[in-house]
Amino acid sequence: MLPAPAYVISDSHLGFATRDVERSLLRFFRHLHGRAGSLVINGDLFEFWFEWRSVMPRGTFRVLAAIAELREAGIPVLMVAGNHDCWGGEILRDDVGIDFRTDPWEGELGGWRARVEHGDGLRGKEDRGYRALKKVIRHPLSIRLFRWLHPDWGSALANRSSHASRTYTARDGGAGLREAATRRLVGDMGAAGGSQRHPDLELLIYGHSHVAELRRIGDGVYANAGSWLDQPTFLRVTPERIELKRWDEGRSGEGVNLDSLDRVAQKALT
């Protein structure tokens, strides 16, 4: 269970992002002290993350220290791996205290029955090639072989290979992930019995597309926190409502409210 208010961010791509982006995220984390019930990082916090036996990427320590401070303050932190930072392990879990998952997470989030998934590989034909690649790059043997590389060489190789996706905002405006969310929340009526539908799911959260969104689909809600790299948007989840907000340090409170949905849909006036 992740207590309310639960805050959700995704796609910061630290290591590629400017230092200003990193600073804004650090100030946001400090803002959460005394306010947050829990924090969810829905993938691609880093442009590249890999744990060698005794080495980690140099540019990550400020953010990891800030997260460790949140954990020491008693705030649970869940991180669902993205396609850029899926090679985590002991440092994130044991040293920082993050509940790090390489698979989707399901449970109670801010009072909602929720599923959190980064969203890479969920589109149909568009992601067919990537789904095959994903099995290779996340295979234990591939990780073991990559660990044999010197960290400088491995980091340089990974950063070069990630250039295409780090500059990518979904050309479809997030439509592919909306379709995936619809299959999950409503069901694929073209399939026998709508086999992918999860009728007990109230809230489905994706990232990856860099498209911030909050939408009611069937009896559930699809939410995407967008990309902190592009602009500092986040979700705030309480039992009563979900808010999509933009972090604005110049404003009092928690920034600009972009959209919100109450837990119970308002009935149309008659």
Note the pLDDT of residue 104.
94
pLDDT tens by residue, the chain, 270 residues: 999 999 999 999 988 889 999 999 999 999 999 999 999 999 889 886 666 566 665 557 789 999 999 999 999 999 998 876 666 778 888 889 999 998 899 999 999 999 999 988 676 556 555 555 555 566 566 556 656 655 655 555 555 555 544 445 667 788 889 999 999 999 764 444 444 556 689 999 999 899 999 999 999 999 999 999 999 999 999 999 999 999 987 766 678 999 999 987 544 433
The total of other beta-carbon atoms located within 10 Å of residue 29's CB is 22
CA distance 108 to 114: 6
SS (H, E, C) 113-127: EEEECCCCCCCCHHH
Note the pLDDT of residue 193.
40
Note the pLDDT of residue 194.
41
Note the pLDDT of residue 267.
43
Domains annotated on the chain, with CATH:
6-262 (3.60.21.10)
Note the pLDDT of residue 9.
97
Q: Where are the alpha helices (DSSP H) in the chain?
A: 19-31, 61-72, 90, 128-137, 140-147, 151-161, 163-166, 175-185
Note the pLDDT of residue 169.
62
Note the pLDDT of residue 159.
58
Note the pLDDT of residue 210.
92
φ/ψ (deg, to 5) at 87: -100, 55
Do the Cβ atoms of 219 and 187 come closer than 8 Å?
A: no
Note the pLDDT of residue 136.
54
Note the pLDDT of residue 233.
96
Note the pLDDT of residue 268.
40
Q: Select from 45, 38, 2, 7 the least CA-distant residue to 247.
A: 7
Note the pLDDT of residue 259.
96
Note the pLDDT of residue 255.
82
